[in-house]
Amino acid sequence: MQKITPFLWFDDQAEEAVKFYTSIFKNSKVGKVLRYDEEAAKISQSGRPPGSVLTVEFQIEGQQFVALNGGPLFKFNESISFVVNCETQEEVDYFWEKLTADRGEESTCGWLKDKFGLSWQVVPTVLSEMLHDKDPEKSERVMKAMLQMQKIDINKLKAAYAEK
């Protein structure tokens, strides 16, 4: 068992969210589903009926998660996000398209919100390498280029990096 597991609070879309996330990430799977019993349904603030989904365990790229139908009390915000490290522009494009689908929101610098309001950063691994370059002028040019983007464009980053 993993020592720390992200626990994601949804109003009543936990099962839908798990299906969404596991359809996007190829190395993923759905685990155990726990349902509200009579007692839990009585004391919960979510108003969920007995037999409805309480939690769904799932895994993405070896990382364990739990999705909870906890009711409308809490919402996601940008203070927590998940980073998707991508090796190629094709990967960046794929995850960007999938995670912003169906009412997802694009933001800046590789950030987005999916249709459930969960924040993600879709980032090419080369970005970190360029931002940490020993030549501060190169890293500054890359930072400036990235700040102009929504979805990260690797070719534009490389062009900024190579400028003389």
Confidence bin at 153 (pLDDT 50/70/90): very high
First to last CA, the chain: 50
**Model's pTM, two decimal places?**
0.92
**CA dihedral over 44, 116, 111, 4, signed as positive or negative:** positive
| Cα angle 87, 92, 95; round to 5 | 120
Q: How far apart are CA 15 and CA 56, in angstroms?
A: 7
Task: Domain count for the chain, please give it.
Answer: 2
**Amino acid identity of 102?**
D
Q: Both tokens of residue 55?
A: 């939690």
Among residues 74, 92, 125, which one ends one of the domains?
Answer: 74
pLDDT at 42 (0 to 100): 81
pLDDT tens per residue across span 40-55: 888 876 678 999 999 9
What percent of the chain lies above the pLDDT cut of 70?
A: 99
Closest CA to 33 of 62, 68, 8: 68
- Could you read off the pLDDT of 84-99 as tens digits, one per residue? 999 999 999 999 999 9
> Which of 52, 74, 96 is the endpoint of a domain?
74
CA distance 126 to 99: 21
Domain end: 12, 43, 74, which one?
A: 74
